[in-house]
Copies of this chain bind each other. A is one copy, B any other.
Amino acid sequence: MTNILQRLTVGILLFPDVEVLDFAGPFEVFSRARLTPGIESRRSNESAPFQVFTVSKSTAKIIATGGLMVLPDYSFSNHPKIDLLVVPGGFGTRSLLTDQETLEWIRNVSSGARLTVSVCTGALLLTKAELLNGLEATTHWGAIELLESINQAGQHNIKVLSDKRFVDSGNVVTSAGVSAGIDMALHIVERMFGKAVADETATYIEYRRLHQ
């Protein structure tokens, strides 16, 4: 097997009070996916289709919800090109709803990415970044009303769906709360590399997939 696989870059946004599983679930799925099945293939990146890293406003440590301390790999100003942008949620999204630097960064990166995805209340940020205009979307069950009110106030014309594990609107995919990000990430793996690769990755992490 040749070693010329061009890995897709996955940039995961971090911010203060980001929900841990919102970013750790997709991080796990994308970083442990392999085109070659089995345990041994996980010992190297040879058949890894994704290169995953974290990005934040600066590279200073981030304190996630519950107190987990994470060091971002890159800042807004020095990260590599991002093919797949992951925007997680958490209570920390609330103060970012009016943070133009973050919203513009999301909009700019998304415009050059193949795909932009959100987990949980990350959908609120995609909405404010104008990335969900005219599309179907979902979020954490506890934030459906908030998403709808932001939608209506900003005339984004989003069709807000509840009771969906994730909503695939083409270039933008949104998921329900927290652990639903794992299913969304596996769905993206399936879209890009097929069901066998996604199912085998789920088997590796002993996750039973949910589609809705």
The reply to whether A67 and B91 form a contact with Cβ atoms under 8 Å apart is: no
Interface extent on A, as a size class? 35 or more
Query: In the complex, what distance in Å separates the CA atom of A53 from the CA atom of B73?
Result: 22
Q: Which residue of B lies closest to A12 (CB)?
A: B68
The reply to whether B91 and A43 form a contact with Cβ atoms under 8 Å apart is: yes
Contact of A21 among B24, B69, B91, B177 (CB under 8 A): B24
Query: In the complex, what distance in Å separates the CA atom of A39 from the CA atom of B177?
Result: 12
Q: Name A's interface SS.
A: mixed
Contact of A206 among B69, B71, B73, B178 (CB under 8 A): B178
The reply to whether A205 and B21 form a contact with Cβ atoms under 8 Å apart is: yes
Query: In the complex, what distance in Å separates the CA atom of A53 from the CA atom of B28?
Result: 20
Query: In the complex, what distance in Å separates the CA atom of A72 from the CA atom of B142?
Result: 31
Contact of A31 among B39, B65, B177 (CB under 8 A): B65
Residues of B within 8 A of A141 (CB): 206
Query: In the complex, what distance in Å separates the CA atom of A176 from the CA atom of B205?
Result: 9
Interface residues of A (CB under 8 A from B): 19-21, 24-25, 27-28, 31-32, 39, 42-43, 52-54, 61, 65-73, 91, 140-142, 176-180, 182, 204-208, 210
Leading 5 A-B pairs by shortest Cβ distance: A31-B66, A24-B24, A69-B71, A178-B205, A21-B28
Known: A177-B204, A179-B205, A180-B206. 18 other contacts (CB 8 A): A20-B31, A24-B25, A24-B28, A27-B68, A31-B68, A32-B65, A32-B66, A43-B91, A61-B71, A69-B72, A69-B73, A70-B70, A140-B206, A141-B206, A176-B206, A177-B205, A178-B205, A179-B206
